[in-house]
């Protein structure tokens, strides 16, 4: 019996070893497939950087497309991207660091840190803020709106709760901004200063933060909404404002690089930042939301594999981190050309890493980029070709009048493509002839071109279809 068990053990060891060797030998094929997939995606609107570590070995770490189109600067592993809501993992780790320092408890309530709270907010706990069960709304204002600390928290604590605290998961950026303020009040340090001293510096991260790092300006990525509208770098915005808005602080807006985030992962893995017991709290699945759980700044899939992940985005940048702790792979996906067509690319990469035979879904042009690419190569008398493509290959992307309507206004304001604005509005009227807003927009297009007669016809059609907004517009201009 002993010999049989010994034989089975040896056979099993050899089998596992063989599988590991085969997997490692398969890396070049998988990497080539992913690399080709991303390179092909650049032509359809993907710009960004991807890092993949497998079994402690970095198998891919590259940039794709442009970080700055005007300056012709390419993306690289050192390109600095806005990581959006991936900021939340740092806030969660910072709270646990303060717990390690015995400066707070996860069961502490808001009344331990803030005075004169409304009754319904007093007993909301740190744990509830971390797990999005506090009941606070998602947000109150736009990311970059500047507001004083007192005014922001007066607005927050006087806002209506979305639900009873502790009832269920409801994603709240506000909750993480409150946590950032708790970090400041408890540590007597600015939020970013605390992160730098206790998280980033011990990890060796020099290009992560809001305003404090000595940024390598040449590595800043500009964000491109749908790969069309240049929205610049968020770091430039912070520098211009001289501060970070409380609408972002703690919940989003931190910038970082692929190389820095790999250092962060290694520091976490070696317990340099958090001891094992607190690390387990950080990635513990507490609250459930549809098909995943949430920990302290991480989404968690807790099925056969332990996978922690998070996404972030702001309309120009999109960012995803996926860490499969069971199979030991770590993926960083950053893009500075956000659109719905590229938001799931990180998960296509993950499927390919897990299964080398998987064929990732093609990265397709978003409808805005598709139209802009077409009009830059064609004259307006080719609009019938564009209509055929919209009705055919791209039909699913034009289920509403919104896309062509926005593009009509975008081209109307463009020196280069203004001649296309009327054609786009007219195509929209053909596709959505019973939409009053479409005719109102066409009227605006004609006004911009000085064609009052056609504008009046379009406005009359909009009013006929019941557009009160058109009536108001005309009355205000009388």
Give the CATH number for residue 403: 1.25.40.10
Residue 291 in this model has a pLDDT that exceeds 70: yes
**pLDDT tens digits, one per residue of 3-61:** 433 433 333 333 333 344 344 446 789 999 999 999 999 999 999 999 999 999 999 99
Tell me, what's the pLDDT at 19? 40
Tell me, what's the pLDDT at 304? 81
C-alpha distances in Å from residue 86, one per residue of 90, 91, 158, 243? 8, 10, 27, 20
Overall average pLDDT of the 140-149 stretch: 94
Which pair of tokens denotes residue 203? 């990890």
Residue-wise DSSP of 339-386: -TTTTTHHHHHHHHHH-TT--PPP-PPPHHHHHHHHHHHS-GGGHHHH
> Is 108 part of any domain?
yes
Which pair of tokens denotes residue 320? 């995803």
**pLDDT tens digits, one per residue of 400-440:** 999 999 999 999 998 889 999 999 999 999 999 999 999 99
Whether residue 209 sits in one domain with residue 180: yes
Identify the burial level of 70 via C-beta atoms within 10 angstroms of its C-beta, where 0-12 means exposed, 13-18 middle and 19 or more buried: exposed
Residue 472 in this model has a pLDDT that exceeds 80: no
* Chain-centre distance for alpha carbon 273: 25
**pLDDT tens digits, one per residue of 115-124:** 999 999 999 9
Which residues have CB under 8 Å from 213's CB, separation 6+? 206, 207
Whether residue 424 sits in one domain with residue 326: no
Which residues have CB under 8 Å from 317's CB, separation 6+? 81, 82, 83, 84, 221, 223, 234, 334, 335, 336, 338
Whether residue 107 sits in one domain with residue 162: yes
Where among 289, 321, 354 does a domain terminate?
A: 354
> Is 455 part of any domain?
yes
Three-state secondary structure call for residue 316:
coil
Enumerate the β-bridge partners of residue 102: none
Task: Count up the domains in the chain and report the number.
Answer: 2
Of residues 9 and 394, more confidently modeled: 394
Rounded Cα distance, 245 and 290, in Å? 31
C-beta atoms surrounding 10 within 10 Å: 10
- 349 close to 333: Cβ distance less than 8 angstroms: yes
For 324, list phi and psi in degrees, rounded to 5. -90, 105
Residue 1 in this model has a pLDDT that exceeds 60: no
**pLDDT tens digits, one per residue of 221-256:** 999 999 999 999 999 999 999 999 999 999 999 999
Whether residue 217 sits in one domain with residue 96: yes
Whether residue 287 sits in one domain with residue 382: no
**Percentage of the residues of the chain whose pLDDT score is greater than 90:** 88
Whether residue 287 sits in one domain with residue 146: yes
> Is 45 part of any domain?
no
Whether residue 274 sits in one domain with residue 192: yes
> The domain spanning residue 200 has which CATH number?
3.40.710.10
Whether residue 407 sits in one domain with residue 324: no
Which pair of tokens denotes residue 182? 């708790």
> Is 33 part of any domain?
no
Whether residue 375 sits in one domain with residue 288: no
**pLDDT tens digits, one per residue of 186-216:** 999 999 999 999 999 999 999 999 999 999 9
* Range of weakest confidence among 4-8, 64-68, 170-174: 4-8
Which residues have CB under 8 Å from 265's CB, separation 6+? 53, 323, 330
CA angle 196, 202, 208 (to 5 degrees): 45
Enumerate the β-bridge partners of residue 309: 299, 322
Overall average pLDDT of the 442-466 stretch: 93
Residue 329 in this model has a pLDDT that exceeds 70: yes
Sign of CA dihedral 422, 227, 346, 297: negative
Overall average pLDDT of the 143-170 stretch: 95
As a whole number, the mean pLDDT across the chain is: 92
Tell me, what's the pLDDT at 470? 75
C-alpha distances in Å from residue 5, one per residue of 2, 16, 17, 19, 256? 5, 16, 18, 21, 51
Which pair of tokens denotes residue 68? 């700055």
Nearest to 132 by CA among 165, 99, 90: 165
Whether residue 329 sits in one domain with residue 206: yes
Q: At what angle do helices 421-431 and 383-391 cross, to 10 degrees?
A: 40
C-alpha distances in Å from residue 463, one per residue of 113, 426, 437, 466? 55, 17, 9, 5
- 194 close to 94: Cβ distance less than 8 angstroms: yes
Q: At what angle do helices 436-448 and 421-431 cross, to 10 degrees?
A: 160
Rounded Cα distance, 320 and 330, in Å? 11
Helix or strand (DSSP H, E) at 149:
helix 149-157
Whether residue 349 sits in one domain with residue 373: no
> Is 399 part of any domain?
yes
> Is 205 part of any domain?
yes
Which pair of tokens denotes residue 450? 């000085």
Overall average pLDDT of the 78-88 stretch: 98
Of residues 288 and 336, more confidently modeled: 336
Tell me, what's the pLDDT at 415? 85
Structure letter (DSSP) for residue 199:
I
Rounded Cα distance, 5 and 11, in Å? 10
> Is 361 part of any domain?
no
Residue-wise DSSP of 271-287: TSSS-HHHHHHHT---E
Overall average pLDDT of the 278-303 stretch: 90
Three-state secondary structure call for residue 97:
helix
> Is 177 part of any domain?
yes
Could you tell me the pLDDT band of residue 83, with boundaries at 50, 70 and 90? very high
Q: Which domain holds residue 446?
A: 367-477
Rounded Cα distance, 425 and 440, in Å? 10
Whether residue 203 sits in one domain with residue 87: yes
Rounded Cα distance, 82 and 318, in Å? 8
Where among 291, 326, 354 does a domain terminate?
A: 354
Residue 159 in this model has a pLDDT that exceeds 60: yes
Tell me, what's the pLDDT at 290? 76
């Amino acid at each position: 019996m002993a010999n049989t068990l010994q034989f089975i053990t040896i056979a099993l060891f050899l089998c596992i070893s063989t599988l590991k060797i085969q997997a490692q030998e398969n890396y070049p094929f998988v990497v080539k497939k992913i690399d080709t997939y991303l390179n092909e995606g650049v032509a359809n609107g993907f710009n960004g950087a991807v890092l993949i570590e497998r079994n402690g070995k970095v198998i891919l770490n590259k940039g794709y497309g442009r970080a700055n189109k005007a300056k012709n600067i390419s993306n690289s592993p050192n390109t600095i991207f806005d990581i959006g809501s991936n900021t939340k993992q740092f806030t969660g780790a910072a709270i646990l660091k303060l717990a390690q320092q015995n400066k707070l408890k996860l069961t502490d309530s808001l009344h331990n840190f803030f005075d004169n709270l409304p009754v319904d907010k007093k007993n909301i706990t740190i744990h509830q803020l971390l797990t999005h069960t506090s009941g606070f709304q998602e947000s109150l204002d736009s990311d970059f709106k500047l507001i004083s600390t007192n005014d922001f928290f007066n607005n927050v604590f006087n806002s209506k709760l979305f639900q009873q605290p502790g009832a269920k998961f409801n994603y709240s950026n506000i909750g993480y901004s409150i946590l950032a303020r708790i970090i400041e009040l408890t540590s007597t340090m600015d939020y970013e200063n605390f992160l730098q001293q206790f998280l980033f510096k011990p990890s060796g991260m020099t290009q992560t933060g809001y305003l404090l790092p000595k940024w390598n300006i040449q590595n800043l990525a500009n964000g491109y909404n749908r790969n069309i509208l240049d929205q610049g770098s968020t770091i430039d915005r912070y520098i211009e404002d001289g501060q970070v808005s409380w609408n972002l602080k703690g919940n989003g807006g931190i910038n970082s690089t692929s190389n820095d985030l790999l250092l962060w992962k290694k520091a976490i893995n070696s317990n340099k930042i958090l001891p094992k017991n607190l690390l387990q709290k950080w990635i513990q699945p507490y609250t459930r939301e549809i098909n995943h759980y949430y920990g302290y700044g991480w989404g968690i899939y807790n099925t056969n594999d332990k996978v922690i992940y998070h996404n972030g985005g702001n309309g120009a940048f999109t960012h995803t981190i996926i860490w499969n702790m069971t199979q030991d792979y770590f993926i960083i996906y950053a893009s500075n050309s956000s659109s719905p067509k590229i938001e799931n690319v990180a998960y296509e990469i993950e499927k390919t890493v897990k299964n080398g035979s998987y064929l990732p879904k093609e990265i397709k042009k978003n409808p805005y980029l598709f139209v802009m690419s077409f009009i830059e190569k064609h004259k307006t008398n080719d609009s019938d070709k564009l209509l055929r493509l919209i009705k055919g290959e791209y039909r699913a992307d034009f289920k509403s009048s919104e896309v062509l309507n926005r593009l009509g206004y975008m081209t109307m304001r463009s020196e280069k493509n203004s001649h296309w604005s009327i054609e786009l509005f007219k195509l929209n009227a053909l596709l959505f002839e019973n939409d009053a807003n479409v005719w109102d927009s066409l009227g605006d297009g004609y006004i911009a071109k000085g064609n009052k007669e056609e504008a009046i016809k379009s406005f009359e059609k909009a009013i006929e279809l019941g557009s009160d907004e058109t009536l108001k517009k005309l009355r205000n201009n009388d």
